[in-house]
């Protein structure tokens, strides 16, 4: 499909420093727009569009009402369950439908909570967790769309004209709708097919309102994960969502990934049309492919394991080779092409929340994993102490730290074939959220950097996705490819080795 990529027009350079970690900032050079110059920016100050997402008080009341009915219904179902074995599954199915209807219409952080519940393997029996995953899975890309006029209003504020006037072609029906914005297919004046992501009007205020109403989430959270501590999760979400609100920043992040994987044999990142991007509008290359659920329904075990290895290589290869980490893995962010030059590859979408790791942080993580792999608890503690993860004079049992690291990193610690499963994904979540397992008090005494905590949380999503794919490989040897350039032993590893060896971006 035709595409004018970043760099085709040397006359429109923009500085593109992704993240800012002191001397470790990533500088990709100029990120320029498409051959067709972007429209002029509107000279008018953007107006605040009425959005219908509700005030803090209204959203708080909605959340409180949903949580109250959920919590009360849960108690009732447990009581009925003493007499009726079918009572609890029926309750959870009804609760998932209520959550879908309300969270989908609210957008913002409320909907993001629903998205997480849709794909992270919850600490519930599989038949009950499945009710949430199947129903709330619609929130990843099939949430209720915003009113077309409100979306047109955002485009008008950013460009000074309606979508039909800005783009040569505009499809008012969105391709997908999620928590912060929705995406539309469009065409640039030169005919290039693009995807246009438009932020919901008023979503920034909605996010702040939701996070200020944090206590309203607690009863609902206890139903889907009885031992989950909700407040730390919401505080972490605040930072991620604030990052995601700036689409021009997201354009820089996506460009950083796109240039690093340009020409890769099985990883695709859509290119960005920088001159067309605005703070609330992102314009990127249009690519087609099956969504995650369709892929699961139409592919065999071998294909799914292949896709699992590709996702693993993208997630952890980006971290260890480029020090970049996309912090929002969920099923709605992948496409699986079946035809054309992209067939058999995975298309990675949504780069609103990206972390650039310092070299020191990346190296500490590698040394810690190697210490656990070697069974050396004392070495692990020394690495963490040297990096400041363990405060001076802290009384922490090295074996407890070792045991926690060993559980959450089990796939990469031994030289053997290993299969990701939903059961493993649930176990990792329990080790970090369930006080009964004895790890939380130890973790609170560590001085783990926010980025490392984020990486640990994001592993929940990656583990759940790979568990659904039953991804199977020698992950230990793949990690050693990332760490030290060890010879690849899989077909995919051999296919990508020439590309990696020639990359100018290895960090």
**Angstrom distances, CA of residue 472 to CA of 223, 467, 475, 476, 478:** 32, 9, 8, 12, 12
Separation CA 221–CA 251 (nearest Å): 33
Separation CA 295–CA 303 (nearest Å): 9
The set of long-range contacts for 403-410, using a CB threshold of 8 Å and a minimum separation of 24, is 403/439, 404/431, 404/439, 404/442, 404/443, 405/368, 405/369, 405/372, 405/380, 406/372, 407/431, 408/432, 408/456, 408/459, 409/369, 409/372
- DSSP states of 329-340: --GGGEEB--SG
Residue 31, strand partner residues? none
Check: CB of residue 118 under 8 Å from CB of residue 140: yes
Q: Which residues contact 90 (CB under 8 A, 6 or more apart)?
A: 77
Separation CA 408–CA 458 (nearest Å): 12
- DSSP states of 16-84: -EES--GGG-EE-------SSPPPPPPSSPPP----SS--HHHHHHHHHHHHHHHHHHHHHHHHHHTT-
In the chain, the N- to C-terminal Cα span, in Å, equals: 32
Nearest Cα to 433, choosing from 216, 242, 215, 236?
A: 236
Domain locations along the chain: 56-140+205-242, 358-473
114, two tokens? 């629903």
Separation CA 155–CA 162 (nearest Å): 6
Helix pair 203-212, 230-244: axis angle to 10 deg: 170
Coil, strand or helix at 349: coil
Separation CA 55–CA 67 (nearest Å): 18
Separation CA 251–CA 272 (nearest Å): 6
User: Tens digit of pLDDT per residue, the chain (507 long)?
Assistant: 333 334 333 233 233 345 444 444 555 644 544 444 565 443 333 333 334 555 445 544 554 444 444 444 443 443 344 334 444 556 556 655 655 555 544 444 445 555 555 444 455 555 556 555 555 555 555 556 788 999 999 999 999 999 999 999 999 999 988 778 899 999 999 999 999 999 988 887 777 766 665 555 555 555 544 545 556 666 666 677 777 889 999 999 999 999 999 999 999 999 999 999 999 999 999 999 999 999 999 999 999 999 999 999 999 999 999 999 988 788 889 999 999 999 999 999 999 888 888 898 899 999 999 999 999 999 999 999 888 888 877 788 899 999 999 999 999 999 999 999 988 988 888 887 776 777 777 877 777 676 776 787 678 889 999 999 999 999 999 999 999 999 999 999 999 999 999 999 998
Give 289-329 pLDDT, tens digit per residue: 999 999 999 999 999 999 999 999 999 999 999 999 988 78
Q: DSSP strand E in 344-480: where?
A: 346-348, 354-356, 418-419, 472-473
The set of long-range contacts for 372-377, using a CB threshold of 8 Å and a minimum separation of 24, is 372/402, 372/405, 372/406, 372/409, 372/413, 373/412, 373/413, 373/414, 373/476, 377/401, 377/402
Separation CA 481–CA 488 (nearest Å): 6
């Amino acid at each position: 499909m035709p595409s004018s990529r970043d760099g085709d027009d040397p006359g429109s350079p923009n500085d593109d420093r992704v993240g800012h970690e002191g001397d470790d900032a990533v500088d990709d050079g100029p990120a320029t727009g498409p051959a067709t110059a972007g429209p002029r920016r509107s000279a008018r100050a953007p107006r605040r569009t009425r959005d219908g997402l509700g005030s803090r008080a209204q959203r708080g009341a909605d959340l409180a009402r949903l949580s109250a009915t959920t919590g009360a219904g849960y108690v009732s179902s447990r009581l009925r369950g003493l007499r009726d074995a079918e009572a609890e599954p029926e309750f959870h199915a009804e609760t998932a439908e209520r959550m879908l209807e309300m969270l989908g219409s609210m957008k913002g952080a409320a909907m993001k909570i629903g998205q997480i519940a849709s794909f992270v393997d919850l600490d519930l029996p599989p038949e009950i967790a499945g009710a949430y995953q199947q129903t709330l899975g619609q929130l990843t890309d099939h949430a209720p769309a915003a009113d077309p006029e409100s979306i047109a209003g955002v485009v008008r504020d950013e460009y000074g004209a309606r979508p039909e006037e800005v783009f040569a072609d505009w499809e008012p029906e969105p391709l997908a709708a999620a928590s912060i914005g929705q995406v539309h297919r469009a065409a640039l004046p030169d005919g290039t097919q693009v995807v246009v992501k438009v932020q919901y009007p008023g979503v920034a205020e909605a996010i702040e309102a939701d996070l200020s109403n944090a206590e309203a989430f607690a009863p609902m959270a206890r139903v889907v994960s009885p031992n989950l501590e909700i407040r730390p999760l919401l505080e972490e979400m605040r930072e991620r969502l604030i990052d995601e609100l700036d689409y021009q920043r997201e354009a820089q992040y996506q460009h950083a990934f796109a240039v690093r994987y340009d020409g890769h044999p099985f990883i695709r990142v859509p290119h960005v049309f920088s001159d067309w991007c605005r703070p609330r509008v992102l314009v990127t290359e249009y690519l087609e492919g099956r969504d995650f659920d369709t892929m699961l329904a139409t592919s065999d075990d071998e294909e799914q394991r292949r896709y699992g290895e590709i996702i693993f290589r993208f997630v952890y290869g980006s971290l260890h080779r480029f020090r970049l980490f996309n912090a929002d893995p969920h099923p709605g962010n992948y496409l699986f092409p079946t035809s054309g030059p992209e067939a058999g590859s995975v298309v990675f979408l949504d780069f609103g929340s990206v972390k650039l790791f310092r070299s020191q942080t990346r190296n500490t993580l590698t040394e810690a994993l190697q210490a656990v792999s070697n069974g050396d608890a004392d070495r692990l503690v020394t690495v963490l102490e040297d990096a400041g993860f363990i405060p001076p004079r802290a009384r922490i049992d090295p074996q407890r730290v070792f045991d926690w690291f060993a559980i959450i990193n089990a796939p990469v610690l031994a030289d053997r074939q290993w299969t990701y499963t939903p059961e493993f994904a649930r176990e990792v979540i329990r080790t970090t959220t369930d006080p009964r397992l004895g790890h939380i008090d130890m973790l609170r005494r560590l001085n783990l950097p926010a980025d490392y905590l984020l990486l640990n949380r994001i592993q929940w999503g990656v583990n759940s996705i790979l568990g659904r794919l039953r991804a199977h490989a020698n992950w230990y040897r793949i990690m050693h490819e990332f760490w030290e350039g060890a010879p690849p032993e899989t077909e995919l590893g051999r296919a990508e080795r020439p590309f990696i060896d020639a990359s100018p971006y290895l960090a």
